[in-house]
Amino acid sequence: MIPELGQGMLLVALGLALAGAILSAAGGRTGRPALVESAQHAALGVFALITCSFALLVYAFLTFDFSVRYVAHNTNLGTPFWYRITGVWGALEGSIILWGWMLSLYTLIVILRHRERARELYPWALTVMLAIMAFFITIMTVAAPPFSRLNPVPANGRGLNPLLEDTGMITHPIALYLGFTGFTVPFAFAVAALVTGRLSDTWIALTRRWTITAWYFLSLGLLIGGWWSYHVLGWGGYWAWDPVENAAFMPWLTGTAFLHSVMIQERRRMLKLWNISLVILTFSLTLFGTFLTRSGVIASVHAFTQGSIGIMFLSFLALVVLVALGLLAWRWDALKGQGELDSVVSRESAFLLNNVMLVAAAFTVFFGTVFPLLSEAVRGVKVSVGAPFFNSVNIPLFLGLIFLMGVGPLIAWRRASLDNLRRNFVGPIVVGVVGAAVFYALGVRSALAVLSLALTVFVAATIGLDFWRATRARLRMGESILPAMTGLLARHNRRYGGFVVHLGILVIAVGVTGSQAWSVQTETTLKVGESASLGGYNVRFDRLDAAEESNHARVVGTFTVANGRQPAVMQPSKKYYPQESSPIAGVDYWIGLKEDLYLVLGDFTRDGRQATVKIQVNRLVTVIWIGGLILTLGTVLSVMPERRKAA
Amino acid sequence: MKPKFIGGGLVILAALGYMIYAGVTQSAVYFVTPSELRASPVTGKAYRLGGLVARGSLRWDARTLDLAFTLTDGQASIPVRHKGTAPDLFGEGRGAVVEGTLTSDGYVKATQILAKHSEEYQAPHDKNEAGYKELIKTLQKATK
Amino acid sequence: MSRALRWLIPLAAIPVLALLAYGFRLNPREVPSPLVGRPAPAFALKTFAGQPVSLESLRGKVVVLNFWASWCYPSCYEEAPVLERGWQAWRDRSVVVLGVDIQDTDDKALKFVRDFQLSFPNAPDPSGKVSIDYGIYGVPETFFIDTQGRIRAKHVGALSEEVFRQHVERLSSESQGAAQR
């Protein structure tokens, strides 16, 4: 009964979403507020229904209702309580419901925040959001119904994919989806702007915080995914240019471009075409990302093949792209720039170059991801390009982008004079070059690593220079140093929030550079009592043990590790789940600031006397996660309400 | 738009195009089945070979970390060698995809083994069957 | 840009979308099964009802050989009704559905058969020889064998109505065509 109720609610929600979209569009067209209000009520109804439906699904999970097919596939009697809740979004049907729920929540927030302030744009933005929700609810009711039943009821379920029994895997989809769905809002307002012809920066100013928040959650999702990959999957890496990773990275790249490009439109009314194109591109890429993950079109470790869902996603993606680009073509004249670029050496130019490079990177990732399809379509041969391709093209682009991070915020508008360039950049360039020399002297030989670190120093110097000059100006006016600094941060939180985010990116870049350049690994087989060394660590194999847990069994290898200091014990394991045809690796690691020690248990003999172990010393990986924290702080600072009064 | 911007844009486009072209030719990996590889083997070329791990072909030496096996598609078989443990999803009678180069000795030197992960099944590890339960018991007895 | 040229922009998206649609026709994860196209391994089993059944005895019919177990949650539970309906629809057209129960206990297996009211023959494989011959390493797996005794298709995971119908129709019409000649 309860599952039928849940499915019925979704069906009603679909009707409401469609009705609401039509009402809102009619309200926008005719200007009658009553229609828009009805649409608002419909949106509220959709939110309530999806929330209840979601709650019923969670209830089915918690009560082991194996009559529901989705529950039987994702839990069994041994699944721990907490994972019975988080397992709800562990597979296709549940993740679509999560997406739909987030969309409905965002729609409510849009209603509450914008219905008064954006009279012209708001009805159309609401229409777009309800229409997109209607699509996702259609998936929930037609292609991937979460409540379909099994009869007779199996006595037990299959169980959650063991890789998902991890905190990273709980938070990663949530962060990623908050990011993906978040971009729906700027997209909706962009479409509203195109439809109404109000292409000034109103739609941008309204959605600024949405864009930053969505961008942040996407960044967070990517970082958590990298962290999960690093800690759980057992290959010691955090990024593999896997198609599904790429699917989330592409909208991040174009989203970053969009985030920056809109600043130019706000200040100088330029790059309008770029901004509309970027938001359309970003939203389309979020849909493409879901399509890629759910349709099995590209071979990937993560892809789940589900029959009709891929076709539905592709059709909807096609609809969105063609309609949005059609509107863009229709409004072409209004979008053509009001200002021309005065000089190549200017802030506008730097931001334009930023756009170009980020889109180039996104294109590269897209090209590399669909290359197998392309080569098969064109030449009949299936060819793929792996990590070397992505790295060889993207690394120069990323280095260029880091350089621009230092140039953009400081270079003058319109046309930078020689004096302006000298004042702002000579110092940091000198610092960067000195930094390069220092790194070289310290023993860094990889040219790429030296360049990367030198650029990081350069950008950090520009940030420091800017902050110092502003602080000094305040000190001159009689303030003491600490209030001066905090006052700056509070009064100009957008600017300095951005700087802190840039610092976070720099820290991440340092971590990536270090881990790629200086990590070492080895694999060796040890008998009981034998040791191996790597990177200053001595690893001795002590014993093997076997134990049974509630829903799995495991073999644990005990190793004593010493690196000159106090020896300690590490216990990598292999976990055997009844529903999986092979064991899952349980990595054990020590996290440090400078380096992580990483142990993976491989093969072992049945008498427990011999084990093969993979040892990695991964350098500066923790720095990446710290960069993520700094990114968080910067984002929070950025979105805080601005103080108009003097601090 | 000023000509110098169009010029600059074209230069950037050309540079990007070149980098992509170079990247693709350097790192292209060809998807083949064992039959396809037998039909036209090219020594030194990077392949992604997919097949079934032939039963009885798996050889693993824990001390030297040498892994050897044969991938087959029912018609042709290709020997593969790899240094290091195989991933957890790997095993005889199961599908696997390897990435590596064809050596002049006729075997594929695999740098990576990707094993197929299927969500469809349930594996035969039941109370009545050996499988991992027996492994656990054996280990518990041996390491007491 | 002229009024007409601007519409190139949305049109430019079409080749990309077409490329993605093309991707649907391909199955990149398919690893070829060495058994497909080969003669099906012979077997001789005794059904739960005590009747002997062998591959030999089924020569001339299309055989849907389904490997299952009572502990296979929930995929075997999903496909059991599909197999039963398929059996009912095709039994008069020289198609046989045969279930092989592996690594199971008889009482649980019989309960499964009773719960789903399966009327097609089901046999246990106590020694596991048949499942080894067919390269089974998980359940459910279904093999579609033609009238000549060759394995023509293998399906892994729960069988759906469409897949069942697709394969059975194809093999059935082939054999009919051959018979008419």
Q: Which tens digit of pLDDT belongs to each residue from A69-78?
A: 999 988 888 8
- Residue A327 touches chain B, beta carbons under 8 Å: no
CB–CB contact A76 C9 (8 Å): no
Q: Which tens digit of pLDDT belongs to each residue from C28-47?
A: 445 556 788 889 999 999 99
For residue A320, count other CB atoms closer than 10 A to its CB. 21
CA gap A269, A278 in Å, rounded = 16
Q: Searching chain B, which residue's CA lies closest to the CA of residue C159? A: B120
Q: Which of residues 81-100 of A touch B (CB under 8 A)?
A: 91
Mean model confidence pLDDT for chain B: 83
Of A533, A529, A543, A538, the closest CA to residue A565 belongs to A538
> Which of A564 and A51 is assigned the larger pLDDT?
A51
Of the candidates A157, A295, A303, the beta carbon closest to that of C74 is on A157
Does the pLDDT value for residue A397 go beyond 70?
yes
Assigned token pair, A293:
């993950």
Band of pLDDT at residue B124, cut at 50, 70 and 90: low
Whether C86 maps to a domain, the answer reads yes
CB–CB contact C72 B73 (8 Å): no
CB–CB contact A152 C115 (8 Å): yes
Q: Searching chain C, which residue's CA lies closest to the CA of residue A280? A: C10
CB–CB contact C19 A370 (8 Å): yes
Q: Domain count of chain C?
A: 1
Band of pLDDT at residue B131, cut at 50, 70 and 90: low
What's the pTM value of the predicted model, to 2 decimals? 0.91
Task: Measure A603 CA to nearest chain B CA, in Å.
Answer: 7
For residue A566, count other CB atoms closer than 10 A to its CB. 6
pLDDT of residue B118: 52
pLDDT of residue C55: 93
Of the candidates C76, C102, C135, the beta carbon closest to that of B124 is on C102
Mutate to test the interface with B, among C129, C134, C137 (most CBs of B within 10 A): C137
CATH number of C45's domain: 3.40.30.10
Angle at A639 between CA A636 and CA A640, to 5 degrees: 85
For residue A388, count other CB atoms closer than 10 A to its CB. 16
Whether C8 maps to a domain, the answer reads no
Q: Searching chain A, which residue's CA lies closest to the CA of residue C29? A: A299
CB–CB contact A385 B24 (8 Å): yes
| Inter-chain contacts counted by CB atoms under 8 A, chains B and C | 73
Among A422-431, A474-483, A486-495, which range has the highest average pLDDT?
A: A422-431
Question: Picking from A322-331, A495-504, A568-577, A618-627, which range would have the lowest pLDDT averaged per residue?
Answer: A568-577
Q: Which tens digit of pLDDT belongs to each residue from C66-87?
A: 999 998 888 899 899 999 999 9
Band of pLDDT at residue A169, cut at 50, 70 and 90: confident
pLDDT of residue A646: 46
Does the pLDDT value for residue A539 go beyond 70?
yes
Of the candidates B4, B23, B125, the beta carbon closest to that of A393 is on B23
CB–CB contact A523 B65 (8 Å): yes
CA gap C115, C86 in Å, rounded = 17
pLDDT of residue B127: 37
The bridge status of strand A568-570 relative to strand A553-562 is antiparallel
Percent of chain A with pLDDT over 90: 66
Average pLDDT for residues B59-70, to the nearest whole number?
92
| Residues listed for chain A | 647
Within 8 A of A304 by CB-CB distance, chain B residues are 119
CB–CB contact B122 C75 (8 Å): yes
pLDDT of residue A302: 41
Q: Which tens digit of pLDDT belongs to each residue from C94-136?
A: 999 999 999 888 999 999 999 999 999 999 998 888 988 888 8
Mutate to test the interface with B, among A338, A401, A581, A614 (most CBs of B within 10 A): A581
CA gap A159, A165 in Å, rounded = 11
Chains with 3+ CB–CB pairs under 8 A to C are: A, B
pLDDT of residue A393: 95
The bridge status of strand C62-68 relative to strand C95-101 is parallel
Mean model confidence pLDDT for chain C: 87
For B29-117, CATH number?
Answer: 2.40.50.140
Q: Which of residues 133-172 of A touch B (CB under 8 A)?
A: 158, 161
Within 8 A of B1 by CB-CB distance, chain C residues are none
Within 8 A of A585 by CB-CB distance, chain B residues are 88
Of C70, C105, A79, C103, the closest CA to residue B131 belongs to C103
For residue A285, count other CB atoms closer than 10 A to its CB. 26
Q: Searching chain B, which residue's CA lies closest to the CA of residue C158? A: B120
Q: What is the dihedral of CA B95, B98, B103, B109, to 10 degrees?
A: -110
SS3 sequence, chain C? CCCCHHHHHHHHHHHHHHHHHHHHHCCCCCCCCCCCCCECCCCEEECCCCCEEECHHHCCCEEEEEEECCCCCCHHHHHHHHHHHHHHHHHHHCEEEEEEECCCCHHHHHHHHHHCCCCCCEEECCCCHHHHHCCCCCECEEEEECCCCEEEEEEECCCCHHHHHHHHHHHHHHHHHHHHC
pLDDT of residue B116: 60
Of the candidates B50, B120, B126, the beta carbon closest to that of C71 is on B126
Q: Residue B70: which H helix or E strand, with range? A: strand B66-72
Does the pLDDT value for residue B130 go beyond 70?
no
Does the pLDDT value for residue B52 go beyond 90?
no
Task: Measure A241 CA to nearest chain B CA, in Å.
Answer: 13
pLDDT of residue A22: 96
pLDDT of residue A329: 93
Q: Which tens digit of pLDDT belongs to each residue from A263-317?
A: 999 888 889 999 999 999 999 999 998 878 766 566 543 444 456 787 888 899 9
**What are the structural domains of chain A?**
1-161 (no CATH), 166-386 (no CATH), 390-518+625-639 (no CATH), 520-623 (2.60.98)
> Would you list which residues of chain C are within 8 Å, Cβ to Cβ, of chain A?
1, 6-7, 9-10, 13-14, 17, 19-24, 26-29, 71, 73-75, 77-78, 115-116, 137-138
CB–CB contact A578 B60 (8 Å): no
For residue A645, the number of C-alpha atoms closer than 13 Å in the C-beta half-sphere is: 1
Does the pLDDT value for residue A172 go beyond 80?
yes
Whether C5 maps to a domain, the answer reads no
CB–CB contact C23 A152 (8 Å): no
Q: What residues does C153 pair with on adjacent strands?
A: C144
Of the candidates B52, B118, B128, the beta carbon closest to that of C33 is on B52
pLDDT of residue A242: 87
CB–CB contact B28 A385 (8 Å): yes
Q: Which tens digit of pLDDT belongs to each residue from A412-471?
A: 998 899 999 999 999 999 999 999 999 999 988 899 999 999 999 999 999 999 999 999
Q: Searching chain C, which residue's CA lies closest to the CA of residue A294? A: C24
Among A333-337, A434-438, A551-555, which range has the highest average pLDDT?
A: A434-438
Can you tell me whether residue B85 is helix, strand or coil?
coil
CA gap A7, A397 in Å, rounded = 48
Q: Which of residues 54-113 of C touch B (CB under 8 A)?
A: 69, 71-73, 75-76, 102-105
Average pLDDT for residues B2-31, to the nearest whole number?
89
For residue A485, count other CB atoms closer than 10 A to its CB. 18
A474 with A418: CB under 8 angstroms? no
The bridge status of strand B95-102 relative to strand B46-53 is antiparallel
Task: Measure A307 CA to nearest chain B CA, in Å.
Answer: 14
| Inter-chain contacts counted by CB atoms under 8 A, chains A and C | 90
Chains with 3+ CB–CB pairs under 8 A to B are: A, C
Task: Measure B88 CA to nearest chain C CA, in Å.
Answer: 15
pLDDT of residue B128: 35
pLDDT of residue C97: 96
Q: Which domain holds residue C55?
A: 35-180
Within 8 A of C29 by CB-CB distance, chain A residues are 296, 299, 303, 305
> Which of C37 and A625 is assigned the larger pLDDT?
A625
For residue A93, the number of C-alpha atoms closer than 13 Å in the C-beta half-sphere is: 23
Can you tell me whether residue B29 is helix, strand or coil?
strand
